Structure 1
Amino acid sequence: MTRTPTARTDQRAARPASRREDIADAAIDLFLERGVAATRVEDILTAAGVSVGSFYHHYGDKLNLAATVYLEHLQRFQSDLLAELDRHARTEDAVRGLVLAYLRWAGADPRAMRYMHHCRESSVTEISEGEEARLKQGFYGRLADWIGERAATGELRALPHEHSLALWLGPAEQLIRAALDPFGHIAAPDLDALVAHLTDAERVLADAAWEALRRPAPGDDADQARQ
């Protein structure tokens, strides 16, 4: 049976969070280093400097902690990107802005981004899958609606939403995954090098997203037909 994490960001917004955050911070470091299965609760308690009672009060058990931390970071990431989308009235600014927000979010909190991408053991996925599906449905549904509205006005190409989303955010996601994957083809950079790496990619990926999504002008169509 799938369990639902007991912790939800909106439910705890008004509660004191220092001990809870200490536990989450220590757990992320250990989960990334060892994996969730190989991390003991005792290791988290020692690293966080908290008592057993505090741990179980905030999270209940280790798997619920791992799932909750994942879901809360996912929700924060999605909320930040949607807030960026709402900041822009012009379609081009919004397309470019979301790419920049994605890259800058990873540069500002690479540990959280790496956890979201790479710390997905089956026992944790089973607990989080229901809430994760709800969050992703809301996030991608909102982006799809926005794309549909802009396509209807003729500002964006009329593509299947899955294609538009892949062209929009797919390159940034792939770049970030490669940069944060300790077993990938790119050597793991230190924080300054990572931020520089992502910053260097901002212009080219934002340009590419806009060129891929914008509706071609009549002259562009003729040029493409001749090529």
Structure 2
Amino acid sequence: MQTADLLERAFPGRRAELKRDIFRKALALFNEQGIEATTIEMIRNECQTSVGAIYHHFGNKEGLVAALFFTAMEDQMRLREHCLAEATTAEQGVKALIYSYVDWVDGQPEWARFQYHARFAVTKGPFKDELANRNTTRNRQLWQWLSTAQQGEALQRYPAELMFSLIIGASESYCRAWLSGRVPTSPKVHRELLAQAAWRSIVGA
């Protein structure tokens, strides 16, 4: 249901029904079988459609992986922007980033699991420049927001490209551990502790 909700947000309407179905079946196969082991034929069988229909929407397997990855990325960004809209200080902004990050992982574990696994493939594949451009834009916008918010002067000593990693690092590590089953407790349970730790790691308090 969570996957369907995400896809409905990203691709609403009856005309996008086949695209959503391909996404849904591909996501499940990539997570179950692995990205390398999953073939277009396997996805076709699950969707009961033609290979041509899949290629029409995504070009090839690399295009499908990238499309799934960017869809997850954009959904995550929507939640982040919603949380940031309620923040006025840099501290509130940093904590909003953590809240949105762990809440999204908790709410979309299959997408988050795929996102972690697919990042390397997208980084090294034909869509690496698009990913780099999206990350650069995201980091620049985040830096501009944080540096101009109240308390933003505390962050001026950090390079813009380093900021997101400094803030999210611990939360990402815990989320990966939860998704892999190494820890049993959802990151959402620890969201406040993770948010406080992120802010303290930046201001040194």
Cα separation, 1, equivalents of 2:120 and 2:204: 41
The one-letter amino acid paired with 1:169 is: I
Match of residue 158 from structure 1:
156
Match of residue 140 from structure 1:
139
Give the unaligned 5+ runs of structure 1: 1-11, 188-192, 217-227
Cα separation, 1, equivalents of 2:102 and 2:129: 27
Match of residue 4 from structure 2:
none
Match of residue 197 from structure 2:
208
1:174 partnered with 2:173: yes
8 Å contact from structure 2 (residues 147, 155) kept in 1? no
Q: How many residues align?
A: 195
Match of residue 42 from structure 1:
41
CA-to-aligned-CA distance 1:31-51 (integer Å, 9 cap, x gap):
122223321222101212323
8 Å contact from structure 1 (residues 35, 119) kept in 2? no
8 Å contact from structure 1 (residues 151, 157) kept in 2? no
8 Å contact from structure 1 (residues 84, 101) kept in 2? yes
Question: 3-state DSSP class of the match of 1:39?
Answer: coil
Cα separation, 2, equivalents of 1:47 and 1:89: 47
Match of residue 8 from structure 2:
none
Cα separation, 1, equivalents of 2:113 and 2:170: 16
Cα separation, 2, equivalents of 1:75 and 1:30: 21
8 Å contact from structure 1 (residues 96, 207) kept in 2? yes
- Greater helix proportion: 2
Q: 1:124 to 1:46 in 2, by over 3 A?
A: farther
8 Å contact from structure 2 (residues 102, 191) kept in 1? yes
TM norm structure 2: 0.80
The one-letter amino acid paired with 2:171 is: A
The one-letter amino acid paired with 2:33 is: R
Q: 1:152 to 1:69 in 2, by over 3 A?
A: same
Identity over aligned pairs, percent? 25
